[in-house]
Amino acid sequence: MAKDPSKTEKATGKKLSKSRDEGQVAKSQDVSSAFILIFGLAYLFFAGDRFFSVPGKFMRYMMQDASLLEVNPEIVYNLLLLTIRQMFFLLFPFMLLLLFVGLAANLMQVGFKITPKAMKPKLSKFNPISGFKSKFLSLKPLVELVKSCLKIGLLGYIAYSVYRQNFAGFFTLTNQPVGMIMAFIARVAFQILWRCGLLLLLLAFFDYLYQRWDFMENQKMSKQEVKDEMKQAEGDPQVKSRIRSMQMSAARQRMMQDVPRADVVITNPTHIAVALVYDQESSEAPLLVAKGAGLMAEKIKKIAREHDVPVVENKALARLLFKTVELNQMIPETLYQAVAEVLAYIYRRDGAQASA
């Protein structure tokens, strides 16, 4: 099945991370096979004497007095238990090494990560139609077939070349003891397996490069998918605009609720309105609790008049406060004198009205 031609963009980090969580990674099984074969042969090369001598000694021990043994269930059970124990101690280090090498080979390729999603059963895997498409209507099975044929051909050639090199030696085995024959066969087999292991390691390297390239090709995204992902990461502009609008509306509402407690509203007089609160006990300087321009300024003045908050016209001071002071922020020292004069005027006027 041909790949989607619209998917021309490289996969993003988020897409690769999601695929990794689902168990989709670039990995070559040939790497594990090659490492297991090479390290297994290396273990047999260095520990081969013990690996083959222990079973021989054990068999001689079992057979030397076999004619004197009384066959009964208890003796058979003990002999079986002894055999299992001997084989366990002989094979356990070897199997443990192969397990460690196999895990290490996979970790080198994909790293360590627990992926619960990949462990969950998927009904889509049991779909015969999708299985047929993936097996027979895609290029991957053909590539795997070519790779397998290439490996079989090369491995067969190595076995044949080693056999030809040692062909004459087979004729000298006719009069040799069994031990010499087994040693010769083991030496030839080791030469074949060792060379095959090195070849598999080389092929595994190129297979890993191919698997990584194929994985990245399959992970490619269309331009629309990239845009959608960016929207999800950064937020939909329309949604962000709506949220910003709601936040501004809530801020304006809170600001209007603070106007009735203001000590004075300073205006431009028609374009700007600024509301100040000054509590000598809790604040070192007057606090700007509301400000607005245009219709917002008119609304601030309207609320101030409804709650008997003094409205004072001072064009220069109103513009400075509007531009330099943020909401719920104290006025700067440079404006202390000008604001103090306005507040003093309000206090004098209120005092005069009260005494009258």
- Is residue 32 located within the same domain as residue 104? yes
Q: Which of 218, 245, 268 is the last residue of a domain?
A: 218
Burial of 28 (0-12, 13-18, 19+ CB in 10 A): buried
Our CA dihedral for 299, 303, 306, 307, rounded to 10 degrees, sits at -160
For 66, the token pair is 């076999």
Q: Has residue 264 been placed in a domain?
A: yes
Q: Has residue 231 been placed in a domain?
A: no
Per the structure, how many domains does the chain have? 2
- Is residue 339 located within the same domain as residue 191? no
Q: Has residue 285 been placed in a domain?
A: yes
Burial of 356 (0-12, 13-18, 19+ CB in 10 A): exposed
For 221, the token pair is 């995204």
Query: What number of helices (H) and strands (E) belong to the chain?
Result: 13, 5
Pick from 267, 277, 338: nearest CA to 300:
267
Q: Give the residue numbers spanning the domain of 349.
A: 258-355
- Is residue 70 located within the same domain as residue 197? yes
Q: Has residue 39 been placed in a domain?
A: yes
Q: Has residue 14 been placed in a domain?
A: no
CA distance linking residue 163 with residue 167, whole number of Å: 6
- Is residue 88 located within the same domain as residue 210? yes
- Is residue 263 located within the same domain as residue 342? yes
For 62, the token pair is 């079992």
pLDDT at 4: 62
Q: In what order do the strands lie in the sheet with 311-313?
A: 311-313, 264-267, 272-277, 287-293, 329-330
CA distance linking residue 235 with residue 241, whole number of Å: 10
Q: Has residue 200 been placed in a domain?
A: yes
Q: Which of 218, 239, 268 is the last residue of a domain?
A: 218
- Identify the CATH number of the domain in which residue 323 sits: 3.40.1690.10
- Is residue 174 located within the same domain as residue 287? no
Q: Has residue 37 been placed in a domain?
A: yes
- Is residue 31 located within the same domain as residue 155? yes
CA distance linking residue 338 with residue 286, whole number of Å: 11
| DSSP states of 87-125 | HHHHHHHHHHHHHHHHHHHHHHHH-----HHHHS--GGG
Q: Has residue 12 been placed in a domain?
A: no
- Is residue 264 located within the same domain as residue 208? no
pLDDT at 1: 46
Burial of 276 (0-12, 13-18, 19+ CB in 10 A): buried
The three-class DSSP label of residue 264 is: strand
Q: Which of 166, 186, 218 is the last residue of a domain?
A: 218
- Is residue 180 located within the same domain as residue 265? no
pLDDT at 133: 54
CA distance linking residue 235 with residue 230, whole number of Å: 8
pLDDT at 121: 58
Residues 6+ apart with CB under 8 A from 231: 237
Q: Does 141 sit behind a cis peptide bond, omega within 30 degrees of 0 on the bond before it?
A: no
For 129, the token pair is 């139609």
- Is residue 210 located within the same domain as residue 284? no
Query: pLDDT tens, position by position, for the chain (356 residues)?
Result: 455 677 777 877 777 777 777 777 888 888 888 898 888 888 888 876 676 677 767 777 777 766 666 777 877 787 788 888 888 888 888 889 889 998 888 888 877 766 655 555 555 555 555 555 555 556 677 878 888 898 889 989 998 998 888 888 877 877 778 778 877 888 888 888 889 889 988 988 988 888 888 888 888 888 887 777 777 666 566 667 777 778 778 878 888 888 898 888 999 877 899 999 888 777 788 888 899 888 888 998 999 999 888 888 888 888 889 888 888 888 888 888 888 888 888 888 877 666 65
Q: Which amino acid is at 344?
A: A
The helix or strand, by DSSP H or E, that contains position 127, with its residue range, turns out to be none
- Is residue 52 located within the same domain as residue 161? yes
- Is residue 199 located within the same domain as residue 272? no
